[in-house]
Copies of this chain bind each other. A is one copy, B any other.
Amino acid sequence: MALTIIGTMAFDAIETPFAKSEKTIGGSGTYCAYAATNFMHSVNQVSIVGGDFPDDVIKDLNGRGVNTEGVEIVQDKKSFFWSGKYHLDMNTRETLVTDLNVLADFNPTLPESYLNTEYLLLGNLVPAVQRSVINQLKARPKLIVLDTMNFWMETAMEDLKEVLKMVDVLVVNDSEARQLAEEYSLVKAAHKILAMGPKFLIVKKGEHGALLFNGQEIFCAPALPLEDVFDPTGAGDAFAGGFVGYLASTGNLSFENMKTAVVMGSVTASFCCEKLGTERLKTLTDQEIQQRAAQFVALTNFTLSCK
């Protein structure tokens, strides 16, 4: 049940109304790996970092079952750096700095030991690189999950459409779904996107939860109403990592289990927001995850026959 994750490993500088950090460990691949290893312990990581990336983070990931053979270290260059500032509503953020650094040359060759992966999570990256990773695999994985963003819709739509034909699940937020489908109604947008290739579409709506579309079926997962959102950075990646990690741990790809996986993704994302960076994802216990999942049941459960 090995899961291969491709994504960035980076430094972030984050400013929220509640927290400020000049140099936090971040990157979509990092968040996905920490999230997924709360559910399973056989992850193959694909990424690129500079000589400045802390070795103890790599060792920490190794200790959680993450194989970092596929993480290229370019000693004389710097790691990818992103800096952002959140507004009071925490749903909108401003990107202050994006220094690609090593990421500018990222063109990964998968290690031999990765080539029979059963689950593949393509973190937000250049669509052509995402496609190259799929093409290197010896056999088609049981499940390919794709994360992407508006930037690639604006700069590499044709490449993105090619990748969409190759994947099982697309994960985007609501504005990205609308942009990709050129449809305001999310239901209409979902039908258009499902016709582009993926069998499942997940639309993340931040504090309003997430929608899962499959054929004519829809599942609506709430987000846990939080007293405070300390730092939402990486919540989307934590969602994707928790979602795929849970699926890989169960090996069940039915729509029913996809619904549970969406809830587990939301559970993971809710923890992610409680502390800065990846901190909270590192200390999570099985019991905490089960308790919070039970809160999601209580949050949405109702009966039609109270008369």
Contact A263 B220, CB 8 Å, known A185-B226, A227-B185? no
Indicate which residue in B184, B188, B205, B260 contacts A208 across the interface (CB closer than 8 Å).
B205
Secondary structure of the A side of the interface? mixed
Number of copies of this kind of chain in the complex: 2
Contact residues of A between 183 and 234, Cβ < 8 Å to B: 184-188, 205, 207-209, 211, 217-222, 225-229
> Contact at A306–B211, with CB atoms within 8 Å?
no
Known: A208-B208, A227-B187, A227-B188. A260 touches B306 (CB 8 A): yes
Stretch in A48-56, A73-81, A122-130, A291-299 with 4+ CB within 8 Å of B: A291-299
Q: Which residues of B contact A207 (CB under 8 A)?
A: 186
The 5 closest A-B pairs by CB, nearest first: A208-B208, A220-B222, A257-B306, A259-B302, A300-B300
A residues near B (Cβ < 8 Å) are 88-90, 184-188, 205, 207-209, 211, 217-222, 225-229, 249-250, 252, 254, 256-257, 259-260, 262-263, 290, 293-294, 297-304, 306-307
